[in-house]
Amino acid sequence: MSDRAGTTAGRDGEPLLVVENLRKWFPVKKGLIIDRTVDHVRAVDDISFEIRSGETLGLVGESGSGKSTTGYCILRLLKPTGGSVRFLGRDVTGMRRSELHSLRRELQIVFQDPYASLNPRMTVGDIVAEPLVIHGIGNRRSRRRNAERLLEVVGFNAEFINRYPHEFSGGQRQRIGVARALALNPRLIVCDEPVSALDVSIQAQILNLLKDLQQEFNLAYLFIAHDLAVVRTMSDRIAVMRRGKIVETGDAEQVYTAPRHEYTKALLAAVPVPDPHKMLARREERRRLAASVEELV
Protein backbone atom coordinates (compact mmCIF):
# COMPACT_ATOMS: atom_id res chain seq x y z
CA MET A 1 0.00 0.00 0.00
CA SER A 2 2.69 2.42 0.96
CA ASP A 3 4.87 1.78 -2.12
CA ARG A 4 2.81 4.42 -3.85
CA ALA A 5 4.86 7.15 -2.25
CA GLY A 6 7.35 7.19 -5.08
CA THR A 7 4.93 7.33 -8.00
CA THR A 8 3.91 10.72 -9.30
CA ALA A 9 0.26 11.47 -8.95
CA GLY A 10 -0.83 12.29 -12.47
CA ARG A 11 0.66 12.88 -15.85
CA ASP A 12 3.72 15.10 -16.08
CA GLY A 13 3.92 15.37 -12.32
CA GLU A 14 0.62 17.19 -12.21
CA PRO A 15 -0.77 17.48 -8.69
CA LEU A 16 -3.24 14.84 -7.57
CA LEU A 17 -6.13 17.27 -7.64
CA VAL A 18 -6.38 20.47 -9.62
CA VAL A 19 -9.41 22.69 -9.12
CA GLU A 20 -9.76 25.58 -11.53
CA ASN A 21 -12.34 28.36 -11.47
CA LEU A 22 -14.83 26.06 -9.76
CA ARG A 23 -18.32 27.49 -9.46
CA LYS A 24 -21.45 26.11 -7.84
CA TRP A 25 -24.45 28.37 -8.07
CA PHE A 26 -27.76 27.27 -6.64
CA PRO A 27 -30.78 28.75 -8.43
CA VAL A 28 -33.33 30.68 -6.40
CA LYS A 29 -36.73 29.90 -7.88
CA LYS A 30 -40.05 31.65 -7.80
CA GLY A 31 -43.48 30.93 -9.22
CA LEU A 32 -46.07 28.26 -8.46
CA ILE A 33 -46.64 26.56 -11.78
CA ILE A 34 -43.86 27.78 -13.98
CA ASP A 35 -40.55 27.94 -12.15
CA ARG A 36 -38.55 30.99 -12.91
CA THR A 37 -35.01 31.35 -11.76
CA VAL A 38 -34.86 34.79 -10.25
CA ASP A 39 -31.39 34.72 -8.78
CA HIS A 40 -28.50 32.50 -7.76
CA VAL A 41 -26.82 31.75 -4.49
CA ARG A 42 -23.15 31.73 -5.36
CA ALA A 43 -22.13 29.06 -2.87
CA VAL A 44 -18.81 28.52 -4.59
CA ASP A 45 -17.72 31.30 -6.86
CA ASP A 46 -14.62 30.88 -8.98
CA ILE A 47 -12.10 29.16 -6.76
CA SER A 48 -8.88 27.40 -7.73
CA PHE A 49 -6.44 25.26 -5.77
CA GLU A 50 -4.32 22.12 -5.98
CA ILE A 51 -3.56 19.20 -3.72
CA ARG A 52 -0.43 17.12 -4.19
CA SER A 53 -0.03 13.49 -3.32
CA GLY A 54 0.33 12.90 0.41
CA GLU A 55 -0.44 16.50 1.28
CA THR A 56 -3.15 18.12 3.39
CA LEU A 57 -4.91 21.25 2.25
CA GLY A 58 -6.93 22.82 5.05
CA LEU A 59 -10.07 24.55 3.85
CA VAL A 60 -11.27 26.86 6.57
CA GLY A 61 -14.14 29.29 6.79
CA GLU A 62 -17.32 30.15 8.64
CA SER A 63 -20.71 28.58 8.06
CA GLY A 64 -22.07 29.25 4.59
CA SER A 65 -18.67 30.10 3.16
CA GLY A 66 -18.92 27.24 0.66
CA LYS A 67 -16.32 24.86 2.05
CA SER A 68 -18.53 21.76 2.20
CA THR A 69 -20.05 22.55 -1.20
CA THR A 70 -16.50 22.63 -2.56
CA GLY A 71 -15.85 19.18 -1.11
CA TYR A 72 -19.07 17.80 -2.58
CA CYS A 73 -18.24 19.21 -6.03
CA ILE A 74 -14.85 17.51 -6.01
CA LEU A 75 -16.48 14.16 -5.24
CA ARG A 76 -19.22 14.98 -7.74
CA LEU A 77 -21.83 14.54 -5.03
CA LEU A 78 -22.88 17.87 -6.50
CA LYS A 79 -22.51 18.83 -10.15
CA PRO A 80 -20.48 22.03 -10.48
CA THR A 81 -21.97 24.96 -12.39
CA GLY A 82 -18.68 25.80 -14.01
CA GLY A 83 -14.93 25.43 -13.89
CA SER A 84 -13.00 22.21 -13.78
CA VAL A 85 -11.92 19.60 -11.26
CA ARG A 86 -9.11 17.34 -12.46
CA PHE A 87 -8.20 14.31 -10.41
CA LEU A 88 -5.26 12.19 -11.53
CA GLY A 89 -5.35 14.13 -14.77
CA ARG A 90 -8.97 13.25 -15.56
CA ASP A 91 -11.73 15.85 -15.62
CA VAL A 92 -14.26 14.98 -12.95
CA THR A 93 -16.85 17.57 -13.91
CA GLY A 94 -17.97 15.87 -17.13
CA MET A 95 -17.79 12.29 -15.93
CA ARG A 96 -20.58 9.81 -16.60
CA ARG A 97 -21.95 7.51 -13.94
CA SER A 98 -19.64 4.61 -14.73
CA GLU A 99 -16.61 6.86 -14.66
CA LEU A 100 -17.67 8.33 -11.35
CA HIS A 101 -17.91 4.82 -10.00
CA SER A 102 -14.22 4.23 -10.64
CA LEU A 103 -13.33 7.76 -9.52
CA ARG A 104 -14.62 7.03 -6.07
CA ARG A 105 -12.21 4.18 -5.62
CA GLU A 106 -9.51 6.81 -5.40
CA LEU A 107 -11.49 9.60 -3.81
CA GLN A 108 -13.40 9.14 -0.57
CA ILE A 109 -15.09 11.20 2.12
CA VAL A 110 -15.43 11.20 5.90
CA PHE A 111 -18.54 13.01 7.07
CA GLN A 112 -19.09 15.30 10.02
CA ASP A 113 -21.80 13.51 11.95
CA PRO A 114 -20.74 10.05 13.06
CA TYR A 115 -24.30 9.41 14.26
CA ALA A 116 -26.01 10.08 10.94
CA SER A 117 -23.40 8.68 8.58
CA LEU A 118 -23.49 5.03 9.70
CA ASN A 119 -26.50 2.82 8.93
CA PRO A 120 -27.80 1.65 12.32
CA ARG A 121 -29.08 -1.63 10.85
CA MET A 122 -25.74 -2.75 9.46
CA THR A 123 -22.98 -4.35 11.46
CA VAL A 124 -19.71 -2.53 11.64
CA GLY A 125 -18.15 -5.19 9.44
CA ASP A 126 -20.79 -4.72 6.76
CA ILE A 127 -20.43 -0.93 6.92
CA VAL A 128 -16.68 -1.06 6.47
CA ALA A 129 -16.89 -3.70 3.72
CA GLU A 130 -19.72 -2.03 1.81
CA PRO A 131 -17.44 -0.07 -0.55
CA LEU A 132 -15.81 -3.41 -1.48
CA VAL A 133 -19.24 -4.90 -2.25
CA ILE A 134 -20.25 -1.91 -4.35
CA HIS A 135 -17.05 -2.10 -6.34
CA GLY A 136 -17.21 -5.89 -6.64
CA ILE A 137 -13.89 -6.48 -4.97
CA GLY A 138 -13.14 -9.93 -3.55
CA ASN A 139 -15.55 -12.51 -2.24
CA ARG A 140 -17.44 -12.73 0.99
CA ARG A 141 -14.54 -14.25 2.86
CA SER A 142 -11.85 -11.90 1.62
CA ARG A 143 -14.06 -8.91 2.32
CA ARG A 144 -14.53 -10.08 5.87
CA ARG A 145 -10.78 -10.42 6.28
CA ASN A 146 -10.41 -6.95 4.82
CA ALA A 147 -12.96 -5.49 7.20
CA GLU A 148 -11.13 -7.04 10.14
CA ARG A 149 -7.86 -5.59 8.92
CA LEU A 150 -9.42 -2.13 8.45
CA LEU A 151 -10.88 -2.17 11.94
CA GLU A 152 -7.44 -2.97 13.30
CA VAL A 153 -5.90 -0.17 11.24
CA VAL A 154 -8.16 2.36 12.98
CA GLY A 155 -7.39 0.92 16.39
CA PHE A 156 -10.17 -1.57 17.05
CA ASN A 157 -10.16 -5.20 17.95
CA ALA A 158 -11.12 -7.27 14.88
CA GLU A 159 -13.74 -9.00 17.02
CA PHE A 160 -15.87 -5.85 16.90
CA ILE A 161 -16.87 -6.80 13.38
CA ASN A 162 -20.32 -8.10 14.34
CA ARG A 163 -21.30 -5.17 16.52
CA TYR A 164 -23.73 -2.42 15.58
CA PRO A 165 -23.05 1.34 15.50
CA HIS A 166 -25.16 2.08 18.59
CA GLU A 167 -22.67 0.14 20.68
CA PHE A 168 -20.02 2.73 19.93
CA SER A 169 -19.36 6.26 21.16
CA GLY A 170 -19.09 9.25 18.84
CA GLY A 171 -15.31 9.04 18.56
CA GLN A 172 -15.41 5.32 17.89
CA ARG A 173 -18.06 5.80 15.22
CA GLN A 174 -15.87 8.34 13.52
CA ARG A 175 -13.11 5.70 13.45
CA ILE A 176 -15.54 3.39 11.69
CA GLY A 177 -16.26 6.14 9.17
CA VAL A 178 -12.53 6.50 8.58
CA ALA A 179 -12.13 2.72 8.14
CA ARG A 180 -14.90 2.75 5.53
CA ALA A 181 -13.20 5.59 3.66
CA LEU A 182 -9.95 3.60 3.64
CA ALA A 183 -11.54 0.39 2.34
CA LEU A 184 -10.84 1.08 -1.33
CA ASN A 185 -7.34 2.32 -0.70
CA PRO A 186 -8.00 5.86 -1.93
CA ARG A 187 -5.44 8.56 -2.66
CA LEU A 188 -7.45 11.52 -1.49
CA ILE A 189 -9.96 11.73 1.34
CA VAL A 190 -12.22 14.73 1.77
CA CYS A 191 -12.61 15.15 5.54
CA ASP A 192 -15.71 17.29 6.06
CA GLU A 193 -15.60 18.62 9.64
CA PRO A 194 -14.52 15.18 10.90
CA VAL A 195 -14.08 16.17 14.55
CA SER A 196 -16.48 19.04 15.11
CA ALA A 197 -19.02 16.80 16.85
CA LEU A 198 -16.44 15.36 19.25
CA ASP A 199 -15.09 16.32 22.66
CA VAL A 200 -11.57 17.70 22.88
CA SER A 201 -9.95 14.56 24.30
CA ILE A 202 -11.62 12.35 21.67
CA GLN A 203 -10.96 14.87 18.92
CA ALA A 204 -7.23 14.56 19.59
CA GLN A 205 -7.44 10.78 19.16
CA ILE A 206 -9.11 11.10 15.74
CA LEU A 207 -6.72 13.80 14.54
CA ASN A 208 -3.76 11.64 15.55
CA LEU A 209 -5.28 8.68 13.73
CA LEU A 210 -5.71 10.74 10.56
CA LYS A 211 -2.09 11.88 10.81
CA ASP A 212 -0.84 8.31 11.27
CA LEU A 213 -2.88 7.00 8.35
CA GLN A 214 -1.64 9.77 6.13
CA GLN A 215 1.95 8.73 6.76
CA GLU A 216 1.29 5.05 6.45
CA PHE A 217 -0.73 5.16 3.23
CA ASN A 218 0.57 8.40 1.72
CA LEU A 219 -2.93 9.84 1.73
CA ALA A 220 -3.82 13.33 0.66
CA TYR A 221 -6.54 15.15 2.60
CA LEU A 222 -8.82 18.01 1.82
CA PHE A 223 -9.46 18.90 5.43
CA ILE A 224 -12.58 21.04 5.79
CA ALA A 225 -13.26 22.64 9.17
CA HIS A 226 -14.41 25.82 10.84
CA ASP A 227 -12.03 25.40 13.79
CA LEU A 228 -8.83 27.23 12.93
CA ALA A 229 -6.77 25.52 15.59
CA VAL A 230 -7.77 22.05 14.38
CA VAL A 231 -6.99 22.96 10.77
CA ARG A 232 -3.56 24.23 11.77
CA THR A 233 -2.50 20.93 13.35
CA MET A 234 -3.53 19.01 10.24
CA SER A 235 -2.54 21.11 7.26
CA ASP A 236 0.49 21.75 5.08
CA ARG A 237 -1.30 24.52 3.24
CA ILE A 238 -4.40 26.54 4.04
CA ALA A 239 -7.14 28.08 1.94
CA VAL A 240 -9.43 30.56 3.71
CA MET A 241 -12.93 30.79 2.25
CA ARG A 242 -15.44 33.55 2.64
CA ARG A 243 -18.75 33.87 0.78
CA GLY A 244 -17.82 31.38 -1.92
CA LYS A 245 -14.37 32.80 -2.62
CA ILE A 246 -10.92 31.88 -1.44
CA VAL A 247 -9.56 35.05 0.13
CA GLU A 248 -6.13 33.73 1.06
CA THR A 249 -4.00 30.66 0.47
CA GLY A 250 -0.56 29.86 1.68
CA ASP A 251 1.66 27.62 3.75
CA ALA A 252 -0.05 26.85 7.01
CA GLU A 253 2.54 28.51 9.23
CA GLN A 254 2.65 31.59 7.05
CA VAL A 255 -1.14 32.00 7.12
CA TYR A 256 -1.22 31.64 10.90
CA THR A 257 1.81 33.73 11.77
CA ALA A 258 1.58 36.39 9.06
CA PRO A 259 -1.93 36.46 7.58
CA ARG A 260 -2.21 38.86 4.66
CA HIS A 261 -5.93 39.25 4.14
CA GLU A 262 -7.92 41.36 6.59
CA TYR A 263 -10.57 38.67 6.89
CA THR A 264 -8.01 36.02 7.84
CA LYS A 265 -6.66 38.39 10.47
CA ALA A 266 -10.13 39.01 11.85
CA LEU A 267 -10.89 35.30 11.90
CA LEU A 268 -7.71 34.52 13.82
CA ALA A 269 -8.27 37.38 16.24
CA ALA A 270 -11.78 36.14 17.01
CA VAL A 271 -10.65 32.74 18.27
CA PRO A 272 -10.79 32.55 22.06
CA VAL A 273 -7.39 31.30 23.21
CA PRO A 274 -6.95 29.42 26.49
CA ASP A 275 -4.64 32.04 27.94
CA PRO A 276 -6.21 34.79 30.05
CA HIS A 277 -3.00 36.83 29.85
CA LYS A 278 -3.53 37.45 26.14
CA MET A 279 -7.13 38.51 26.54
CA LEU A 280 -6.74 42.27 26.62
CA ALA A 281 -4.39 42.40 23.65
CA ARG A 282 -6.72 40.18 21.63
CA ARG A 283 -9.76 42.31 22.44
CA GLU A 284 -7.89 45.34 21.26
CA GLU A 285 -6.91 43.54 18.04
CA ARG A 286 -10.54 42.51 17.45
CA ARG A 287 -11.81 46.04 17.84
CA ARG A 288 -9.18 47.29 15.43
CA LEU A 289 -10.00 44.64 12.82
CA ALA A 290 -13.77 44.77 13.19
CA ALA A 291 -13.87 48.11 11.40
CA SER A 292 -11.75 46.99 8.46
CA VAL A 293 -13.80 43.80 7.97
CA GLU A 294 -17.01 45.79 7.82
CA GLU A 295 -15.54 47.57 4.84
CA LEU A 296 -14.90 44.26 3.05
CA VAL A 297 -18.62 43.57 2.70
Q: Which residues bind another protein (CB under 8 A)?
A: 62-63, 169, 199-205, 207-208, 211-212, 226-230, 232-236, 252-253, 256-257, 266-277, 279, 283, 286, 293
Nearer to another protein, 91 or 199 (CB): 199
Closest CA to 222 of 209, 234, 205: 234
**What's the CA gap between 276 and 273, in Å, rounded?**
8
Contacts of 39 (CB under 8 A, 6+ apart): 27, 28
For residue 136, the minimal CB distance to another protein (Å) is 37
Instruction: Read off φ and ψ for residue 254, nearest 5 degrees.
Output: -65, -45
Angle between helices 124-134 and 170-182 (to 10 degrees): 20
Nearer to another protein, 102 or 208 (CB): 208
Nearer to another protein, 71 or 171 (CB): 171
For residue 222, the minimal CB distance to another protein (Å) is 16
Nearer to another protein, 247 or 268 (CB): 268
For residue 15, the minimal CB distance to another protein (Å) is 19
Nearer to another protein, 275 or 295 (CB): 275
Q: Is the torsion defined by CA of 226, 213, 77, 86 positive or negative?
A: positive
**What's the CA gap between 96 and 100, in Å, rounded?**
6
For residue 32, the minimal CB distance to another protein (Å) is 21
Nearer to another protein, 139 or 201 (CB): 201
Nearer to another protein, 66 or 83 (CB): 66
Closest CA to 222 of 52, 12, 47, 98: 52
Nearer to another protein, 134 or 271 (CB): 271
For residue 95, the minimal CB distance to another protein (Å) is 33
Contact 241, 64 (CB under 8 A): no
Strand order in 245-251's β-sheet? 107-110, 188-192, 220-225, 56-60, 237-242, 245-251
For residue 267, the minimal CB distance to another protein (Å) is 6
For residue 50, the minimal CB distance to another protein (Å) is 18
Which residue type is seen at 266? A
**What's the CA gap between 104 and 138, in Å, rounded?**
17
Contact 132, 138 (CB under 8 A): yes
Closest CA to 1 of 184, 125, 191, 236: 184
For residue 237, the minimal CB distance to another protein (Å) is 10
- Secondary element (H or E) of residue 210: helix 200-217
